Amino acid sequence: MNNDLIIPNHIGIIMDGNGRWAQEKGMIRTMGHKKAIETLRELLIHMADVGVKYCSLYAFSTENFKRDVSEVEFLMNLFIVAFQKEIEFLKSMKVRVVFSGRKNPLPEKVLEVMDKIVEDTKNNDKLVLNICLNYGSHAEIVDTTKKICEMYKSGKISLDDVNEELFESNLYNNLPPLDFVIRTSGELRLSNFMMWQASYAEFYFPKTYFPDFDSKEFDKAILEFNKRNRRFGGVK
């Protein structure tokens, strides 16, 4: 990749189109999620290589629990298997994993492997991988508000202390703002993904289904990002 390109510091990826990818190939939907893991591996290597520092992935939304029980079960098992299997790969890549989302009602075993991967990668500093699992922006904003109310109730803060900085530092993870949000498969929605963090992000909606969103597709996205004129509400 051209060295003069600006690499977004924090990229969000809404990994959409797994089901359609599989169905169009005559396979069951869940095969698309399986293939997505291979794609993720390739992307992570590439992102670390080009210098992305933070990547947030939308792995499972609070609303995804409305899916067919068998698909939800498949995904929960996939998380367990993938988090166990990829731990060494992530360690070798110096990736630090954090999670955003509500614990309830995730299965105990999923929570266990999540804790392990966070603990085992906590000293890594090449790239922070924020996995949004049982995540929704509305839930995050409500949970953060509750946390701040508790701080106020216990006398730790006064009403005047409540401002954007305090709110931001009490979100699920204290991450820098998103610079670039990619949603694959041609859908033009945010779907409750990191709304606070995406307030000044650039958006990119390739038609490619996530399983086919490889490093070449990623490079095209970076070229597109470099064409954008980011003004952050000011004049440039």
Question: In the numeric block, which tokens belong to residue 124?
Answer: 């890594």
49 is catalytic: no
Torsion (CA) 117, 92, 132, 195 in degrees, nearest 10: 140
Out of 54, 74, 79, 180, the only residue in the binding site for ligand FPP (CB under 6 A) is: 79
Choosing from 2, 3, 9, 16, which is the catalytic residue?
16
Question: Which DSSP symbol is given to 9?
Answer: S
Q: Which amino acid is at 215?
A: S
Q: Per-residue string for binding with ligand FPP, 37-66, x by CB under 6 A?
A: x-------------------x-x----x--
Taking the least distance from each CB to ligand FPP, the nearer of 117 and 198 is 117
The continuous run of DSSP H or E covering 232 comes out as: none
Taking the least distance from each CB to ligand FPP, the nearer of 107 and 149 is 107
Phi, psi of 41 (to 5 degrees): -55, -50
Taking the least distance from each CB to ligand FPP, the nearer of 89 and 200 is 89
Q: Could you say whether residue 190 binds ligand FPP (CB under 6 A)?
A: no
Residues 8-27 that bind ligand FPP (CB under 6 A): 15-20
Using the Cα atoms of residue 183, residue 106, residue 33 and residue 92 in order, give the sign of their dihedral. Answer: positive
Q: Could you say whether residue 183 binds ligand FPP (CB under 6 A)?
A: no
Taking the least distance from each CB to ligand FPP, the nearer of 207 and 230 is 207
Count interface residues toward ligand FPP (CB under 6 A).
17
C-alpha 106/C-alpha 101 separation (Å) is 10
* 3-class state of residue 60 by DSSP: strand
C-alpha 176/C-alpha 214 separation (Å) is 25
- The binding site for ligand FPP (CB under 6 A) comprises 15-20, 33, 36-37, 57, 59, 64, 78-79, 82, 131, 185
